[in-house]
Amino acid sequence: MRETLRAIIIAFDGLVADTLGARAQAIADALTSEGTPISAEAIAERVAGRSLEETIEHVLRHHAAQSGESIDHTTRDLAVLRARRSYSAIIALGLPLHAPATAWILNHAANGVKVILRADSARADVETMLRLSGFSDNIAFARCADDLPRLRGLSMTESGWSAIIHRLGAMQITPSACRAVEVAQSAAKIAQTLMSDVVLTSTLS
């Protein structure tokens, strides 16, 4: 018999906050400034389920493979710095949370289900969005892209999921009592290695 649902782990970027376009644009602007023009539309296909740094690395490796060139690590590092600043500036101006998603979360929280955010964005940016939206009190905890520990050889999402499961275990919540809701197929596949109840969706409503 299935355990009662006690926790839901949700992809913050793309489901709770519409950050995917902003992150893709920040990366496109940064790469263009560093002499590697790649459209935000092309980057948007790769940004979900990856940190800003991982997305830039992935996009540059794909570009290098197509052009037959090697990746320029200086370009990568400078683009990361530019994109971080640009994205944080966008967040500081105010990027609201999705109203249907916040209502969905409030409904589950009211029924005693703990809500955990798994974010591709850095903690400072996630906390800014939650604070500006007045939504922080409705979240049990968030695991963000730059949070420690980061496990050697694992992606940001893999490390994040490992940390989330460990923390839930400390709260005496087992994976069988959890549901994962992801927007990226790659992230959903990682979640499926840890729990059976995994939903892949583009909206929360």
**What would the two tokens of residue 2 be?**
């299935």
Contact 28, 44 (CB under 8 A): no
Task: Name 53's bridge partners.
Answer: none
Q: Which residue has the tokens 């500006």?
A: 132
Q: Give pLDDT, residue 2.
A: 63
d(CA 148, CA 154): 13
Do residues 132 and 26 lie in contact, with contact meaning Cβ atoms separated by under 8 Å? no
Output 79-85 pairs: Cβ under 8 A, ≥24 positions apart. 79/27, 79/30, 79/31, 79/33, 79/34, 79/36, 80/30, 80/52, 80/53, 80/56, 81/30, 82/29, 82/30, 82/33, 82/34, 83/23, 83/26, 83/27, 83/29, 83/30, 83/52, 83/56, 84/52, 84/122
Q: Is the pLDDT of residue 133 over 70?
A: yes
45 falls in which pLDDT band (50, 70, 90)? Answer: confident
Give, in degrees to the nearest 5, the angle at Cα 96 between 91 and 98: 135
Q: Would you state the pLDDT for residue 126? A: 96
| pLDDT > 70 in the chain, percent | 99
Sign of the torsion formed by the C-alpha atoms of 26, 29, 35 and 41: positive
For position 70, what pLDDT does the model report? 82
pTM: 0.92
